[in-house]
Structure 1
Amino acid sequence: MNIRILGCSGSIARDCRTTSFLLDDDVLIDAGTGVGDLTLDELARIDHILLSHSHLDHVLGVPLLADSVMRRRNGRGPIQVHALPETLQVLRQHLFNDQLWPDFTRLPTAVRPVLQLKPLAVGERLTLGAQQRPIDVLPASHAVPACGYAVQAPSGRVWVYTGDTGPNPALWEALRGRDIGQLVIEVAFAEADRAVAADSRHHCPSTLAGELGHVAAGVEVLLTHIKPGELETIRSELAERLPTLAFEALRAGQTLRLD
C-alpha cells in the first residue's frame, strides 16, 4: 500500500503545500494545494476523495480538480466526495453555489455530474478504490466537525491520519487494539502559540507530547500540518518533551509504504 504525500503543511509558502495524500492512485485523502502537483492523467484517475473537514486548506483542490478532469474521465462515472454531512453542507452552501464556483455536482449535466457528494459517519468502515482498501472513519476534535481516517494494509496493519485535531481521547479509544504501522498526526503551532492552538483546536508540542503517550513502541510517528517556518522550533520543542521518541516531519513529494 502506497501513500504519496502531495502536501503536509499548515499553510502555503515556497515548497509548502497544504494537506493532501494520494492512496495508491485513485483515492485522495484531503485536497489541499498539493493536488496541483499531479498531472492531468493522475488527476483523472482519482475516483474517491475523503475529506477530513471543511477548512479551505483541505478542500480547495476539489473544485479545481473537478474542472480539470470533467472532460477527461472517459465514462469513469462521478468522483465520489466522502465527508461528514456538516462538511458536505459547507461545500454545497459556500463552494458549489454558482457564485464562488460552479456547481460541479450538476455539471456537465445533473444526470452525469463529475462530482457526487457522499455522507459518512465517525465509526463507519468504507471499502474504496481499485484495491478495495478498508478505511475506518476516526473521531477528531477540531473547531468544525472533523474526522480522521485509518487505512488497513493487506497485512492488517493500519496507516492512521488524525486530521486536524487537538487533544482527543476518543481517537485513542477508537484505535485501541489496532496494529498501527504509521501515525500521521498534526502539530500546527509552536509552543509560543499555545493559546492559539487551544482556541483553534490544533496541537502544539506540549499537547502533542501528551497524546503520544498513547502510542505503542514501534509505531512510526509522522508529523503533519506544521506552519511554514516553524519546523525546527517544533522539532526542538517536541524533542525536549519526548527525548526518546523517534519521529519524522512529513515532506511533500515523499511516498510512504505500508505492507
Structure 2
Amino acid sequence: MSLSVRILGASGGIGPNRRTTSILIDEDILIDAGIGVGDLTLSELQKIRHVFLTHSHLDHIGFLPMLADMVYSPDSPPIQIHALPATLKALREHVFNWVIWPDFTCLPTPAQPILEFRPIGSEEQVTIGSREVRALPALHTVPTVGYGVIHHDGMGFAFTGDTTSSEALWDALNALPYLDLLMIESGLPDEMDSLADLSKHYTPHRLSDDLDALRHDPRIAITHLKPGHEMAIRQQLQQSQYASRMVLLEGAERFELHAQNRTLKAG
C-alpha cells in the first residue's frame, strides 16, 4: 500500500507554467482548489469525493466553482467540502450566492446537491477509508488550517497551508504518528520580512528556524513562492541546514509514500 500525493499547483501566483495551490491525495481527496485543478481530466475530476480547504483566499478556492460545474452526475453522492466554519461562510456569502456562481449546495435539488458543506474545527479529524485527515492549526490573515493525512498502514503527509510561525502548528505536526512528506510555504524572501509579517507568510530564515522544532524527519516540499522572488527564495533556502531534504515545488510533482521504519529526531 502507498499514499499518493500529486501536486497540481504550488505557486504563490499566476503566469506561464504557474498553478496555484491544489493537491490530489490518491484519486479522491483534494486539498485546496487553486488553478492546478484545471489540469485534471474530466474522468479525474469525477473521482474526487472530498475537498479539504485550508482557507478562503482566492488562490486556494478559485477553481472550486468550476469543479462543481463539471462533475455533476445524477448517480453520484455530493462532494464533501470540509473547511472551517468561517471559510464555508465566505463561500456561501461571496461565491455560491447566485451572483458570482450558482449555489451548488442546493442544485440540482436541496435533497441531492452537488456540494455538501462539512464544517471542521482545528485539530478535528475525518476518516476516509484507510486514511485519516486531521486539521492542523495555522496562522494566516484569515481563519486557516493545514491538514495531515495519515494512512493506517503507516504513512503520513502534511500540508501547512498559508502560515507563519505558530507554536501550535509545530506541536500538531509533532503529534502526528507518521510524517514522511511535509509541504510548507516560504512565500517571500528574507529581505521582505516586514511584508511577510503583515501578510503572515514564511521567509526562508523564519522557516529554517522553526524547522528546528520538528521532531519528525520528513522530506520537505517548499510551496507558495511568489513570482518574481523565486530565485532569491531558492538561494536563501540553500543556506538552510535542511536544504538537502528540501524540494522546491513547481507543480506536477508526484510522491508515493510507503510504510518504512523511521525514528524521531532527538530532543
TM-score, normalised to structure 1's length?
A: 0.94
In the other structure, the counterpart of 2:54 is 52
String of CA shifts for 1:84-114, please: whole Å, max 9, x gaps. 0000000001111111111111111222110
Comparing 217-226 with 93-102, greater Cα deviation is found at: 217-226
Distance verdict in 2 for CA 1:6–1:243, change over 3 Å:
closer
In the other structure, the counterpart of 1:211 is 210
In the other structure, the counterpart of 2:162 is 164
In the other structure, the counterpart of 1:149 is 147
**Which whole-Å CA distance do the structure 1 matches of 2:238 and 2:43 have between them?**
41
Q: Is the 8 A contact 2:223 2:248 kept in 1?
A: yes
- Alignment of 1:101 with 2:101, yes or no, is yes
Distance verdict in 2 for CA 1:64–1:217, change over 3 Å:
closer
Distance verdict in 2 for CA 1:231–1:75, change over 3 Å:
same
**Which whole-Å CA distance do the structure 1 matches of 2:58 and 2:174 have between them?**
31
**Which whole-Å CA distance do the structure 1 matches of 2:88 and 2:241 have between them?**
38
String of CA shifts for 1:179-216, please: whole Å, max 9, x gaps. 32111001111122211111010111121111111234
Comparing 247-256 with 6-15, greater Cα deviation is found at: 247-256
Q: Is the 8 A contact 1:19 1:58 kept in 2?
A: yes
In the other structure, the counterpart of 1:230 is 229
The offset of 1:177, in angstroms, is: 4.5
Q: Is the 8 A contact 1:139 1:171 kept in 2?
A: yes
Aligned pairs for 1:17-96 within 5 A: 17-70=19-72, 73-96=73-96
**Which whole-Å CA distance do the structure 2 matches of 1:57 and 1:244 have between them?**
27
Distance verdict in 2 for CA 1:208–1:42, change over 3 Å:
same
The residue type paired with residue 77 of structure 2 is G
**Which whole-Å CA distance do the structure 2 matches of 1:23 and 1:246 have between them?**
21
In the other structure, the counterpart of 1:123 is 123
> What secondary structure does 2:184 align onto?
strand
> What secondary structure does 1:180 align onto?
coil
Number of residue pairs aligned between Structure 1 and Structure 2: 255
> What secondary structure does 2:134 align onto?
strand
Distance verdict in 2 for CA 1:241–1:254, change over 3 Å:
closer
Comparing 9-18 with 146-155, greater Cα deviation is found at: 146-155
**Which whole-Å CA distance do the structure 2 matches of 1:139 and 1:29 have between them?**
15
- CA RMSD, Structure 1 to Structure 2 (Å): 1.5
String of CA shifts for 1:23-46, please: whole Å, max 9, x gaps. 110110000000000011111111
**Which whole-Å CA distance do the structure 2 matches of 1:45 and 1:37 have between them?**
14
Q: Is the 8 A contact 1:153 1:258 kept in 2?
A: no
Distance verdict in 2 for CA 1:217–1:101, change over 3 Å:
closer
Q: Is the 8 A contact 1:187 1:224 kept in 2?
A: yes
In the other structure, the counterpart of 1:8 is 10
Q: Is the 8 A contact 1:150 1:161 kept in 2?
A: yes
**Which whole-Å CA distance do the structure 1 matches of 2:131 and 2:152 have between them?**
8
- Alignment of 1:254 with 2:256, yes or no, is no
The offset of 1:245, in angstroms, is: 4.6
Q: Is the 8 A contact 2:11 2:223 kept in 1?
A: yes
**Which whole-Å CA distance do the structure 1 matches of 2:132 and 2:216 have between them?**
24
